[in-house]
A = this chain, B = another copy of it.
Amino acid sequence: MDDVAAVAGVSRGTVSRVLNGGHNVSGPALEAVERAIRKTGYVVNQHARSLVTQRSDSVAFILSEPQDRLFEDPNFNNLLRGCTQILAEHDITLLLTVAGTSADRKRIGRWVTAGHVDGALVVSNHLGSPLLDELKGRGLPFVVCGRPLGHEREVSYVAADDRDGARQMVVHLRSRGYQRIGIITGPLDTSGGVDRLAGYRDVVGDVDPALIEAGDYSQASGEAAMERLLRAGPDLDAVFVCSDLMAAGAITYLQRIGKRVPDDIAIAGFDDSKVATTITPRLTTIRQPFGRVSQEMVRLLLAHIAGEQHAAVILPTELVIRESA
């Protein structure tokens, strides 16, 4: 920076002003500095800048799932893409960190709170994970994707209306005449797991426990859960599967044992992710508004960084009817 100032024939203060938008700088000075920057190939030292501004202009995208999940589940991809794009418009870099093990979560908690980032987007939070407490304790602004079980009134989050989506789906299945409707839920330590099950219960009422199985959102878990479900209740005529990926697994299993979907058993999904339209039969599912979720998460986070209080945003979900149910 001293070099640039020397070459341009101005003070370092003026160089800094040019770097930060060029306010209060005369035309000739601005031009001289810009020329000098090009000539010297100068790049600001972000650490020095951040040390005084107390800002890093980057935020973390924390995925607290084993790394494989990130790659298997297209929802994360959707969210990541949306957030990156919107943040780029604000000239903020998004750093992806995968916290699969508890050792990872610890290292990343330290890293995040050491000032490397201005805030964090927390995706896929599980009940009992210490991450939220850690972030909260450090006073780092963050927003959670999905309802943060047990922290609803103290942290920002944006969630799709999982419960209502589940209700819509089960109502739809009923309207098609299905009587014995089973469910394959997500992990019951996540909001997507409990809320969709709650919506199902809202409609079905008193549920035969044999009709409920849990998966972990992976395709393999959908296959396994379908097998268990069928063994416990062979008279099922429909299953509400709480993610499209698990639904794909369930269909794979059914086809392998020679059952037709939806003729023998109807299968409904959740997410409206890519697999919903590539699989045969195409999935009847609940559309999650991932674009809006990303958008609202970023908006809330930036507001938070700017000093605003926390808030919750609930976005509507929508029934999409195709062939599978």
Contact = CB atoms under 8 A, between A and B. Distances in A.
Interface stretch (A93-101, A124-132, A202-210, A303-311): A93-101
Number of identical protomers: 2
Interface in A53-81: 56, 58, 67-68, 70-71, 74, 77, 80-81
A48 B47 CA distance: 7
A15 to B, nearest CB: 16
B51 A47 contact: yes
A317 interface: no
Main secondary structure of the interface of A (DSSP, over half): helix
Contact of A47 (B44, B47, B96): B47
A115 B46 contact: yes
A6 interface: no
Contact of A115 (B47, B74, B96, B97): B47
A104 interface: yes
A41 to B, nearest CB: 8
B67 A114 contact: no
Query: Most chain-B CB neighbours within 10 Å: which of A44, A48, A93?
Result: A93
A45 B115 CA distance: 6
B93 A96 contact: no
B81 A114 contact: no
A113 B70 CA distance: 28
A288 to B, nearest CB: 17
A40 interface: no
A275 to B, nearest CB: 12
A137 B103 CA distance: 36
A114 B45 contact: yes
Interface string A106-123: 011011011110000000
7 contacts: A47-B115, A48-B51, A51-B51, A70-B71, A71-B77, A88-B104, A96-B98
Interface of A: 41, 43-48, 50-51, 56, 58, 67-68, 70-71, 74, 77, 80-81, 84, 88, 91, 93, 95-98, 103-104, 107-108, 110-111, 113-116, 137-138
